[in-house]
Amino acid sequence: DTGVSQNPRHKITKRGQNVTFRCDPISEHNRLYWYRQTLGQGPEFLTYFQNEAQLEKSRLLSDRFSAERPKGSFSTLEIQRTEQGDSAMYLCASSLETGGNSPLHFGNGTRLTVT
C-alpha cells in the first residue's frame, strides 16, 4: 500500500497525558498537512510542512500541540497535557504541489479519545 499511513488508528488516553501520532506520507510528496475533524464537521486545518519546513500553523492550535517533519519524510503530531476537548479524528494528508491543483491524499486518521 503506497498511500498515506497513520498510526495508531485509535488512541484512548486519560486527561493530562501526552500523546504522539505518526504520519507516513506518499514518498515523493513534498507537502504534508495535519487536520482535526470532529463528528459532523469538515476537517479543520492545524498545520502544514513543505519538505521539512513548517510553513503555517493555525491560530486555533494551542501551544500544547507540536508537529515535526524531520528530514522531510514522516511527521509526528504531539499533544501535551491532553484535554477532553482534544477528542477528535486527527487526519494527515500529503500532496505533490506543483501547479496548485494537486489533490490531497488523506490517511485514515488517528481517532483520539480523552477520558
Partner 1 sequence: KNQVEQSPQSLIILEGKNCTLQCNYTVSPFSNLRWYKQDTGRGPVSLTIMTFSENTKSNGRYTATLDADTKQSSLHITASQLSDSASYICVVKGQGGKLIFGQGTELSVKP
Closest CB 111 distance from partner 1, rounded Å = 8
**25 contacts partner 1 (rule: CB under 8 A):** no
Contact call for residues 93 and 105 (beta carbons, < 8 A): yes
The only residue of 18, 41, 51, 115 in contact with partner 1, by rule CB under 8 A: 41
Shortest distance, position 54 Cβ to partner 1, whole Å:
15
In this structure, are residues 90 and 112 in contact, taking their beta carbons and an 8 Å threshold? yes
The radius of gyration of the chain's CA atoms, rounded to the nearest angstrom, is 13
Instruction: Give the C-alpha separation, 34 to 39, whole Å.
Output: 17
- Does position 70 interact with partner 1 (CB under 8 A)? The reply is no
The footprint of partner 1 (CB under 8 A) covers 4, 40-45, 91, 93, 97, 100-101, 103-109, 111
